[in-house]
Structure 1
Amino acid sequence: MRQLKTLIHPSINIEQGSQFTRITARAIAMHKQHILLMYTKRYDDFSLPGGGVDEHESIEQGLIRELQEETGAQNIIIKKEFGLYEEYRPWYKDDFDIIHIKSYCYVCNIDQKLGQAQLEHYEQQNGMVAKWVDINEAIEHNERTLATSDKQGLSIIRETYLLKEIAKQL
C-alpha cells in the first residue's frame, strides 16, 4: 500500500524509549460529496470509521468488523486501497513510551442507510455517532477545532490530513 505520510509527534524521539505497533484499518465510504464519518462530541471532531485490527484478523477483516460495529454499515464491499498513514505518538500507559500507529485506509462501498451501531463503552461515553457529512464541511469543522479547541485529541491531525487527501483524490 502506498505511503501517504509519516508523522512523528514533536515530543518524542523514536530512537529512544520503548514502543509498540498498533495496526488499524479505516474506511472511506462516499456518496456523492458526502463521506461517512464518526463525529466525537468529546473532541468536537470528525474521523474516518475504523479501528484496531485483532491478531487473528486480516486488515480487511478488521476493517469490515470495525465499520459494522461503529456505523452499522451494511453490504460492505472493499473497492481499493487508498493509502497508509503512519504516526508515532507518546503512549499514556506505563508499559511503553511510544505508540506506532499504522492506519491502512480503504475505499469501500456500503448501503447509504445504516443499521444499528454497536459502539464500545468508551466510544459511547465520548459521544461518538456515525454521520454522512459533506467532506469539505468536515475539513472546515476539524480545522476550526484544531485552531480553537484545547480539548482536541491527537488523532485530529491525522484525520484532517486524510480528509484533505480524500477530497483531492476522490
Structure 2
Amino acid sequence: MRLLFEMDKRDYDNCTHRFVRNSARSIIIREKKIAMIHSLKYDYYKFPGGGMEGEESPVRAMIRETREEAGLVVRPDTVKEYGYVHRIQKSDKDATECFVQDNYYYLCDAENETVAQCLDNYEAMESFTLEFVEPHIAIQKNRNVRNSLHNSMMFEREARVIELLIEEGLL
C-alpha cells in the first residue's frame, strides 16, 4: 500500500518505549460527498473506522469499525487500497512513550440501507453521527476544532486525506 504522507512531530527523543495502535478507515463517496463521522460534541469529522484488534487485518478492521461507528455495511467486493498515513509523536498520556500509528485507508462502497450503530462509550458521549458531507466543509471544520480531548493531528490527518482525494479527482 502506498504511503500518502507522514506526520512526524520529532518530539520523542526522550521516549523509552513505543505504543503502536494501527487503524483502518473507509472512504465511501456518493454524489461527490464523503461518508464521515461527525462528532456533534466537538464538531469535527473523521473517516469511519478505528483501531485494529489483535491479529485482525486492516480490511477486516475497516469493515467492522465502519459498521459499528457509521452503521454502514461495506460491500467487501468493492474494497480497494487507497493508501496509509504514518504518524509518530510523543504520547499525550506518557512523556516516556512514543505513539506510532499507521492509518490504512480503503476506497469502498456500502449497502444503501444502514444498520444500528454500536458505539463505544466515548463515541456515544461525542454523539457520533454519520453524515455524507461536502469535502470542503469537513476540511474547514477540522482545521477549526478548538475544544476537543483528541490530538489535533487526527483532525489534520483527515483534512489532508480529503485534500488528496480532491487533488486526485476522486471527489
For the superposition of Structure 1 and Structure 2, which TM-score range results when normalised by the shorter chain?
A: 0.7 to 0.9
Cα-Cα RMSD: 2.1
Deviation at 1:16, TM superposition (A): 3.9
In the TM superposition, what are the counterparts of 1:1-170 in structure 2 within 5 Å? 1-9=1-9, 12-13=11-12, 16-77=15-76, 78-94=78-94, 97-143=97-143, 145-146=144-145, 149-151=146-148, 153-154=150-151, 155-169=154-168, 170=170
Deviates more, 1:131-140 or 1:47-56: 131-140
How far the C-alpha of 1:105 sits from its partner, in A, is: 0.5
**d(CA) in 2 for partners of 1:63 and 1:75?**
9
Q: Partners of 2:60 and 2:95 in 1: how far apart?
A: 28
Q: Does the 8 Å contact 1:72/1:114 carry over to 2?
A: yes
Deviation at 1:90, TM superposition (A): 2.8
Q: CA deviation at 1:14?
A: 5.3
Gaps of 5+ in 1: none
Output the TM-score relative to the length of structure 1.
Answer: 0.87
Provide the aligned length of Structure 1 versus Structure 2: 166
| Mapped contact 1:14–1:88 kept (Cα < 8 A) | no
- Give distance in 2, aligned partners of 1:69 and 1:96: 33
Distance 1:137 1:112 in 2: 23
Please state whether the residue corresponding to 1:99 is helix, strand or coil: strand
SS in 1 for 2:55: coil
CA–CA distance in 2 between the matches of 1:120 and 1:45? 17
